[in-house]
Structure 1
Amino acid sequence: MPKRVDHEERRRRVAEALWRIASTRGLESASLRDVAAEAGMSLGQLQHYFTGKDELLVFALGHINELATQRVRERILALHTGPGEPPPRDVLRETAKVMLPLDDESRSGILVQVAYFARAVVDERMLAHAQEGLPLLLDFFSGQIRRAVERGEVAAHRDPRTEAMLLMALTDGLANHALMGGWSAEEALRLIDVHLERLFTV
């Protein structure tokens, strides 16, 4: 009986091969042939799933975001074992941590995002796709800060949407500087903690 091929697993394998190349050699020098070899398949097999590099980047970025969401969920569950929803501050901190290059997995993910966004600036189709995720993250951060205001943990005069935008911008900027070696990822996390301490001081 012929072996059943898990096509979605193969697509994930290709995306993870792209991440490994990104973490060692950078994305721009990685051809589809390089990615195929890293994934242990032929170029023809890879092109059965992805017709070009941009399509591969779109899938890889989506897969990265799914894994990041899963990591945030697992970390929060590990921190919060009691009843009810976890504290907003913990949720925001753990989400920000996943957005920083604190380990190889996060670093590779950020490298893929940087390459993707660089292409999106000059490609309207990819730009539209990139813009889809920003409102979702903004709504998520805003919702957590709104919860914190309702719980009396953040001052009532703070506007949740504005504070969410500031936290997103701070985290993105710190991640990029840490990626370039301007400072360590640990120092970036310390600055996130400083910002959250100020935000959650009533």
Structure 2
Amino acid sequence: MSPARTDHDARRHDVSEAVWRVLAEHGFAGLTLRAVAAAMGASTGLVTHYFGGKHELIAHALDILETRTRQRPRLEAPAIGLPALRTHLLDILPLTPEGVAMNRIWVGSWDVALSDPALFAAQATRYERIRAVLRVAIEDAQRLGELPGRADARRLATTALSFTHGLVVQALFAPERFTPEHQTELVDDFLAGLAADADQST
């Protein structure tokens, strides 16, 4: 790899780190070319070398957010089926300081994604991927008799994600009430309700 290419990649990494710092501190509302330049201690002209405008900057920020979400430490499911579903739901919630920061940024991204067709499509695809992951765990749980086999796994996945995202929003706005312990209890209550339906169907 040529020195010029190495320098370019290093500088792009620096720009990406600055984008993340601005997101973490100010959210998408404060994400501007000028703010990223200030976070780097560089000129706005340097940042515009990488982004042609606000739209490209936001798209890159969402890519960074997606990558960091995938790469962050995750809980390990003790078994397939209902334990795996529980683990997936807990991984979404703001149970740690990092989880709180990540969820605050994701919630802040909804407004920009809803107003831009390309970003809207990317976010819709992301949520479809999450539902697919949940559906696999639900189907495993159905085969194991932990969840009602007659239920539509896709609908259950949609319900589970809707419950979890609602809990995310409540926890962000009322962290003193929705502590990590309480969030976990609510997830367990939710799953217990699903499992009770399985018991009644046997």
- Fold match by TM threshold 0.5: yes
Q: Name the CA distance, whole Å, in 2 between partners of 1:11 and 1:94.
A: 34
SS of residue in 2 equivalent to 1:75: coil
Q: Name the CA distance, whole Å, in 1 between partners of 2:164 and 2:102.
A: 15
Q: Any gaps of 5 or more consecutive residues in structure 1?
A: 81-85
Q: Is the 1:91–1:144 Cα contact (8 Å) retained in structure 2? A: yes
Q: Please give the residue correspondences for 1:48-63 in structure 2 after superposition, counting only pairs within 5 Å.
A: 48-63=49-64
Q: Name the CA distance, whole Å, in 1 between partners of 2:178 and 2:13.
A: 30
1:110-164, CA deviations, whole angstroms, 9 ceiling, x for partnerless residues? Answer: 2322232212222222212221212211111111100111122212222211110
TM-score (norm 2): 0.78
Q: Please give the residue correspondences for 1:153-172 in structure 2 after superposition, counting only pairs within 5 Å.
A: 153-172=146-165
Q: Name the CA distance, whole Å, in 2 between partners of 1:158 and 1:122.
A: 35
Among 153, 175, 184, the residue aligned to 1:189: 184
Q: Name the CA distance, whole Å, in 1 between partners of 2:84 and 2:42.
A: 39
1:2-34, CA deviations, whole angstroms, 9 ceiling, x for partnerless residues? Answer: 472262x65555444344334444431342222
Equivalent position of 1:83 in the other structure: none
Equivalent position of 1:75 in the other structure: 75
Q: Name the CA distance, whole Å, in 2 between partners of 1:18 and 1:90.
A: 36
Q: Name the CA distance, whole Å, in 2 between partners of 1:12 and 1:199.
A: 45
Equivalent position of 2:22 in the other structure: 21
Comparing 86-95 with 157-166, greater Cα deviation is found at: 86-95
Among 121, 142, 149, the residue aligned to 1:149: 142
Letter in structure 1 aligned against 2:86: R
Q: Name the CA distance, whole Å, in 1 between partners of 2:155 and 2:19.
A: 35
TM-score (norm 1): 0.78
Letter in structure 1 aligned against 2:106: Q
SS of residue in 2 equivalent to 1:156: coil
Among 5, 8, 14, the residue aligned to 2:7: 5
Among 121, 133, 148, the residue aligned to 2:114: 121
1:100 aligns with 2:93: yes
SS of residue in 2 equivalent to 1:28: helix
Highest Rg: 1 or 2? Answer: 2
1:31-68, CA deviations, whole angstroms, 9 ceiling, x for partnerless residues? Answer: 22222322454423322222333323323323333333
Comparing 188-197 with 25-34, greater Cα deviation is found at: 25-34
Equivalent position of 2:130 in the other structure: 137
**Count of residue pairs the alignment pairs up:** 193
Q: Is the 1:36–1:42 Cα contact (8 Å) retained in structure 2? A: yes
Q: Is the 1:101–1:185 Cα contact (8 Å) retained in structure 2? A: no
Q: Is the 1:96–1:171 Cα contact (8 Å) retained in structure 2? A: yes
Q: Name the CA distance, whole Å, in 2 between partners of 1:171 and 1:192.
A: 8
Equivalent position of 1:35 in the other structure: 36
Q: Is the 1:14–1:39 Cα contact (8 Å) retained in structure 2? A: yes
Q: Any gaps of 5 or more consecutive residues in structure 2?
A: none
Q: Is the 1:12–1:63 Cα contact (8 Å) retained in structure 2? A: no
Comparing 126-135 with 91-100, greater Cα deviation is found at: 91-100
